[in-house]
């Protein structure tokens, strides 16, 4: 991993972005068609007795479902059930979910592509190089190519016991060294081996870069989704949204669910709030040092007060 390659990795070409957008749209479109067909089957199976039809005036790409649910009067069971009709637009309901699925699918695919066209693969490579460069500067004081390559080889060839020793040597936790170890193996692996190791490389990228840089963005999206949901529910309460057309309500609920679900995953892969680079022994030493300094300051204050009274 050469130093100039790290500088080149800071910039992405237009082909990477265009291909990533096309992959996102393609995966989202396939997911939308699959969900619509699956929902048609599941709905008729789950809601027995309900009438599920597609509005013939709607198009194939933007269908409208007409759902008739039988409502039984509990006061008079023998009375024929009344029908409650709902009009639902599945494309608008599934839109937030399929775009998230498309983004995830495009990310996974771009991890497998060559560096020149794979957006996420280049990003993961950049984080690997940056991590090795940080270790080299912090613990050795140099950041030349040969030193970083030696550190990378040492980490890749280490087993669990050796990784624990390297974690102490470089001032990092064992989990961080294990993630870097797996990411390096993913980078050096062949295409098929890279497929099976992609999850470990993705964990490394989420923890070392994404969770650090985009934590505020993710939290902002959560609040935006909640604000949209509050507005939609308020409009429904004021009868601006008819009860027979719950599409926008269902879409808002699914949007907030998707945001909260992936934010939970985001938190699972984020760094701990405590400093992971400190060893327990170092933490104890620091606490003892701070306590001794505190006592020393108190003694100095008492001595000054005693000297002032003596004078």
What the block records as the tokens of 158 is: 């280490």
Residue 261: CB partners within 8 Å, gap ≥ 6? none
| Distance (Å) of CA 44 to CA 37, 53, 54, 124, 245 | 11, 10, 13, 44, 19
Query: How many Å is the Cα radius of gyration of the chain?
Result: 29
- Are 52 and 67 in contact by the 8 Å Cβ rule? The answer is yes
Against a cut of 0.85, is the pTM above it?
Answer: no
pLDDT tens digits for range 282-292: 444 444 445 55
pLDDT tens digits for range 117-137: 888 888 888 888 888 888 888
244-263 in b/e form (b: 16+ CB < 10 A) is eebbbbbbbbbbbebbeebb
| Distance (Å) of CA 142 to CA 8, 139, 149, 177, 206 | 20, 9, 12, 20, 27
With pLDDT > 90 as the criterion, what percentage of the chain qualifies? Answer: 7
Distance, CA of 229 to CA of 251 (rounded, Å): 9
Helix 119-139 to helix 160-170 angle (10° resolution) is: 60
- At 304 the pLDDT is 54
At residue 3 the predicted structure's pLDDT band, cuts being 50, 70 and 90, is very low
CA atoms within 13 A on the CB side of 147: 15
pLDDT tens digits for range 265-307: 888 877 765 544 444 444 444 444 455 555 555 555 554 554 5
Distance, CA of 198 to CA of 50 (rounded, Å): 44
What the block records as the tokens of 259 is: 């945001």
């Amino acid at each position: 991993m050469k130093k100039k390659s790290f500088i080149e990795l800071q910039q992405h070409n237009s082909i990477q972005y265009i291909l990533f957008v096309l992959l996102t749209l393609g995966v989202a479109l396939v997911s939308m068609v699959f969900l619509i067909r699956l929902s048609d089957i599941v709905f008729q199976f789950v809601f027995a007795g309900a009438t599920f039809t597609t509005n013939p005036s709607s198009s194939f790409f933007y269908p409208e479902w007409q759902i008739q649910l039988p409502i039984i009067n509990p006061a008079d069971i023998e009375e024929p059930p009344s029908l409650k009709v709902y009009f639902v637009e599945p494309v608008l309901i599934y839109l937030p979910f399929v775009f998230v699925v498309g983004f995830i699918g495009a990310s996974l695919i771009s991890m497998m592509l060559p560096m020149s066209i794979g957006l996420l693969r280049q990003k993961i490579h950049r984080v690997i190089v940056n991590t090795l460069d940080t270790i080299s500067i912090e613990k050795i004081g140099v950041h030349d190519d040969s030193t970083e390559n030696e550190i990378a080889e040492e980490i890749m060839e280490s087993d669990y016991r050796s990784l624990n020793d390297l974690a102490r040597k470089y001032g990092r936790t064992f989990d961080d060294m294990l993630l870097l170890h797996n990411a390096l193996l993913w980078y050096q692996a062949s295409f098929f081996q890279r497929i099976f190791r992609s999850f470990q490389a993705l964990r490394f990228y989420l923890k070392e870069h994404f969770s650090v840089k985009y934590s505020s963005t993710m939290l902002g999206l959560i609040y935006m989704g909640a604000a949209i949901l509050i507005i939609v529910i308020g409009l429904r309460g004021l009868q601006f949204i008819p009860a027979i057309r719950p599409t926008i309500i269902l879409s808002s609920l699914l949007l907030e669910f998707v945001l909260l679900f992936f934010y939970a995953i985001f938190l699972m892969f984020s760094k701990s709030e405590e400093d992971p680079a400190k060893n327990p022994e170092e933490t104890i030493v620091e606490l003892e040092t701070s306590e001794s300094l505190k006592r020393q300051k108190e003694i100095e204050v008492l001595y000054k007060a005693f000297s002032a009274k003596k004078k």
